């Protein structure tokens, strides 16, 4: 009898969870991943992280779900990029507009550190709580670059490089000991544009005058008590107190469920017919290189391989049930040749069906190159894009090697056989070849931008010259078509393809278990898009090799310090 009662109670609890009211929960303290894992190592590393696509689709579905009563989010110190924050902020604002309660909680917005970007995210919520021991590091936006020329000179290391043009400042770290005027101008405008966007968002979310927000930024950081007094937070409370308040506000019987679980469960219940027409979503993340995508087990970020992305685009292009493609790009750039390979596949796909690019935190230099051929480019105001330019060169280690007692000799056939050796500088004839190479890449880049964006070559050159733009400024200048996020790009793709608002989205490449195991029959096979674990330069020295312009990264790259978190 007791066993039967226990079974009945268990079944009743499961039924209540399936049909009863819900409070969605989101924990951002572990960070957020941009897309699905591309290889086994990435799957392990992202195991505890929520996918951005799950957050966006879950909150979109929840707006229309009468079972969902509220959203409670814990915002942590783990930094998210500004554009990703704007994606989540937009989704929260739309969820809040449906009349449902939204609550944000943080233990601190910066503990002896800045917290402007996470606080900006939190201001999208109806109620905002801070742990009594926490702080609000509302201190503004800063970009800092260190110049190594002086230190390298002391070590006996020279650096020879060329760039196209004055705003292509990635190499300045090694060739300058201070900011050039174009460098300072570009960075100043980025900081100004980002600050304008965040002040407007904070003012709107906290119902404050923008002038007051700017004044508060200059006074920050704030203790918890000071933040409450200034109207930056609604109350000081611990997690249990916040959750108790949410339960009371929603009737007390709501079940707590992570947004990602809610999104996946809803997706399973609404599995589309395998032959249903839909949208392909292709993710291109990380530095761009030739070959297949992957990640080094030695550390460093993942790489966007041109073979992988090209195979995915080909598969989507040839699938008769795919009516449009959304290409999600989050990349600082990399190899020119690899970028051009992907550009070609985007161009070919566009001839067959609409291609919409959705830009993440970064889509600059090579990241802009792979994007520019799309029908429509969508970016967040805080996306960093543009950087239409090129640089190349090498360190010269001859003096350093001499100080270390190392002598280097070379035997070569061919006048320029050793021109890329770091043991000696470029000869005048070799510099001539470097400049021809730089001019060719820059002219090709500018020409393709002009054609893709319907701009004159002269106007494109004015916007190019290596300059980095925020998404907001890029939109004003015609380098970006619309401001918005991934959900906006998917909506636009459905409209362009004449599909219903709920038409399915399929990640590409779509591979079953057998296809993953047997391997590709040829480069035309969609399983050629599989990523792999790489044992090459994509490790701890990947960023250094990228900054030095070595082959591991390529001449179309944006420095790490441009990322705003």
Q: Quick one: pLDDT band at residue 282, thresholds 50, 70, 90?
A: very high
Is it the case that residue 423 has pLDDT exceeding 90?
no
Confidence of residue 303 (pLDDT cuts 50, 70, 90): confident
What average pLDDT score do residues 353-380 get? 96
The CA distance from 394 to 386, in Å, is 24
165: preceding bond cis by omega (within 30 degrees): yes
Distance CA 89, CA 307 (A): 34
Write out pLDDT tens, residues 456-491.
999 999 999 999 999 999 999 999 999 999 999 999
Contact, 100 vs 70, CB < 8 A?
yes
Task: Work out the average pLDDT over 105-109.
Answer: 94
Query: Can you give the pLDDT at residue 112?
Result: 80
Note whether 2-139+220-265 and 272-562 share their fold. yes
Strand pairing class (384-386; 468-470): antiparallel
Position 550 scores a pLDDT of 43
Please give the pLDDT value at position 422.
85
Higher pLDDT, 546 or 94: 94
Q: What is the pLDDT of residues 126-157, one digit of tens each?
A: 999 999 999 999 999 988 888 888 888 888 88
For residues 76-82, average pLDDT: 81
Q: What is the pLDDT of residues 523-560, one digit of tens each?
A: 666 565 555 544 444 344 444 444 444 444 567 666 65
pLDDT of 93 over the 80 cut = yes
pLDDT in tens, 162-171: 888 888 888 8
**7, 554, 12, 21: which is closest to 303 by C-alpha?**
554
Averaged pLDDT for residues 500-526: 69
Q: Give the Cα separation of 293 and 136 in Å (integer).
A: 39
Of 119, 144, 261, give the one whose Cα is nearest residue 198: 119
Pair 189, 473: CB distance under 8 Å:
yes
Closest CA to 125 of 205, 228, 212, 67: 205
At residue 40 the predicted structure's pLDDT band, cuts being 50, 70 and 90, is low
What pairing do the DSSP bridges indicate for beta strands 376-379 and 482-483?
Answer: parallel
Most confident stretch, 91-95, 307-311, 398-402: 91-95
3 state DSSP class of 295: strand
CB 284 within 8 A of CB 327: yes
* DSSP character at residue 43: H
| H or E, element range at 245 | helix 239-249
Residue 272 has pLDDT above 90, yes or no: no
CATH 3.90.226.10 fits 2-139+220-265, yes or no: yes
Average pLDDT over every residue of 350-356: 97
pLDDT at residue 3, rounded to an integer:
58
CATH topology of domain 272-562: 2-enoyl-CoA Hydratase; Chain A, domain 1 (3.90.226)
Token pair for 132: 């009594």
Q: Whole-angstrom Cα distance, residue 9 to residue 7? A: 5
pLDDT at 61 over 60: yes
Predicted pLDDT of residue 17: 56
For residue 560, the 8-state DSSP code is G
Rounded CA separation 213/198 (Å): 10
Band (48; pLDDT cuts 50, 70, 90)? low
Mean pLDDT (the chain) is 85
| Predicted local confidence at residue 519, as pLDDT | 60
Backbone angles phi, psi at 22, to 5 degrees: -125, 145
pLDDT the model gives residue 539: 40
Residue identified by tokens 């609000």 is 136
pLDDT surpasses 60 at 90: yes
| Domain segments of the chain as ranges | 2-139+220-265, 272-562
Instruction: Provide the 3-class DSSP secondary structure of residue 364.
Output: strand
* pLDDT greater than 90 at residue 234: yes
Which of 90-99, 257-266, 493-502 comes out lowest in average pLDDT? 257-266
Q: Which helix (H) or strand (E) holds 197?
A: helix 181-206
What is the model's pLDDT at position 114?
85
The position carrying tokens 């041109």 is 306
Q: What is the pLDDT of residue 534?
A: 46
The answer to whether 395 and 548 are in contact (CB under 8 A) is yes
Q: Residue 231: pLDDT above 90? A: yes
Residues 378-392 as b/e (b if ≥16 CB within 10 A, e otherwise) read bbbbbbbbbbbbbbb
Share of the chain above pLDDT 70, in %: 81
The pLDDT value recorded for residue 34 is: 82
| pLDDT computed for residue 2 by the predictor | 61
Q: Which residue has the higher pLDDT, 121 or 31?
A: 121
* Percent of the chain residues topping a pLDDT of 90: 57
What pLDDT was estimated at residue 449? 97
Considering only CA atoms, which of 469, 505, 81 is closest in space to residue 325? 505
Q: What angle do CA 157, 437, 181 make, to 5 degrees?
A: 60
User: Does position 111 have pLDDT exceeding 90, yes or no?
Assistant: no
Q: CB count, 10 Å around CB of 131?
A: 17
Taking residues 400-414, what's their average pLDDT? 86
The pLDDT, as a whole number, for residue 561 is 54
SS3 assignment, position 468:
strand
pLDDT tens-digit readout, 172-213: 888 888 999 999 999 999 999 999 999 999 999 999 999 999
Burial of 326: CB neighbours in 10 Å, binned 0-12, 13-18, 19+:
buried
DSSP conformation letters of 78-128: S---HHHHHHHHHHHHHHHHTT-EEEEEES-B-SSS--HHHHHHHTTSSEE
Strand-pair partners of 27 = 74
Per the structure block, which two tokens stand in for 120?
């900006």
Mean local confidence (pLDDT), 418-437: 89
């Amino acid at each position: 009898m007791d066993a039967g009662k226990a079974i009945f109670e268990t079944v009743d609890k499961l039924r209540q969870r399936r049909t009863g009211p819900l409070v969605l929960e989101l924990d951002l303290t572990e960070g957020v991943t941009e897309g699905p894992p591309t290889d086994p190592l990435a799957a392990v590393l992202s195991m505890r992280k929520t996918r951005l696509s799950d957050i966006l689709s879950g909150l979109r579905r929840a707006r229309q779900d009468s079972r969902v009563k509220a959203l409670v989010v814990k915002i942590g110190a783990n930094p998210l990029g500004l554009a990703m924050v704007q994606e989540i902020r937009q989704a929260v604002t739309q969820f809040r507009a449906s009349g449902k309660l939204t609550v944000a909680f943080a233990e601190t917005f910066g503990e002896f550190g800045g917290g402007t970007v996470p606080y900006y995210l939190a201001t999208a919520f109806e109620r905002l709580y801070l742990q009594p021991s926490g702080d609000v590091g509302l201190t503004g936006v800063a970009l800092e670059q260190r110049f190594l020329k002086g230190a390298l000179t002391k070590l006996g290391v020279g650096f020879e490089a060329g760039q196209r043009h004055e705003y292509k400042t990635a190499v300045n770290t090694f060739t300058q000991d201070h900011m050039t005027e174009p460098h300072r101008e570009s960075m100043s405008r980025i900081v100004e544009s980002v600050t304008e966007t965040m002040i407007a968002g904070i003012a709107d979310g906290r119902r404050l005058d923008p002038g007051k927000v700017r004044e508060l930024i200059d006074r920050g950081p704030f203790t918890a008590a000071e933040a409450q007094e200034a109207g930056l937070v609604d109350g000081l409370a611990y997690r249990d107190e916040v959750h108790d308040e949410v339960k009371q506000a929603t009737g007390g019987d709501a079940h707590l469920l992570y947004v990602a679980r809610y999104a996946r469960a809803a997706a399973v219940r609404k599995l589309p017919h395998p032959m249903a027409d839909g949208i392909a979503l292709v993710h291109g993340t990380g530095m761009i290189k030739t070959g297949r995508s992957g990640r080094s087990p030695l550390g460093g970020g993942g790489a966007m391989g041109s073979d992988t992305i090209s195979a995915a685009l080909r598969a989507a292009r040839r699938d008769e049930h795919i009516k449009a493609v959304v290409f999600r790009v989050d990349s600082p750039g990399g190899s020119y040749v690899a970028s051009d390979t992907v550009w070609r596949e985007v161009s070919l796909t566009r001839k067959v069906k609409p291609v919409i690019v959705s830009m993440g935190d970064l889509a600059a230099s090579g990241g802009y190159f792979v994007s520019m051929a799309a029908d429509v480019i969508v970016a967040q105001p805080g996306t960093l894009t543009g950087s239409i330019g090129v640089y190349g060169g090498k360190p010269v280690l001859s003096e350093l090697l001499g100080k270390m007692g190392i002598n280097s000799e070379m035997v070569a056939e061919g006048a320029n056989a050793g021109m890329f050796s770091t043991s000696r500088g470029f000869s005048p004839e070799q510099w001539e070849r470097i400049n021809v190479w730089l001019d060719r890449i820059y002219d090709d880049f500018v020409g393709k931008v002009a054609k893709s964006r319907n701009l004159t070559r002269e106007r494109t050159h004015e916007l190019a010259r290596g300059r980095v733009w925020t998404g907001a400024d890029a939109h004003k200048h015609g380098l970006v078509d619309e401001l918005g996020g991934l959900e906006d790009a998917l909506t636009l793709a459905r409209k362009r393809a004449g599909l219903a608002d709920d038409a399915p989205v399929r990640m590409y490449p779509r591979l079953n278990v057998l296809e993953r195991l047997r391997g590709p029959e040829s480069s035309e096979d969609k399983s050629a898009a599989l990523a792999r674990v790489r044992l090459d330069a994509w490790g701890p020295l990947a960023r250094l090799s990228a900054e030095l312009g070595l082959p591991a990264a390529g001449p179309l790259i944006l420095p790490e310090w441009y990322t705003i978190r």
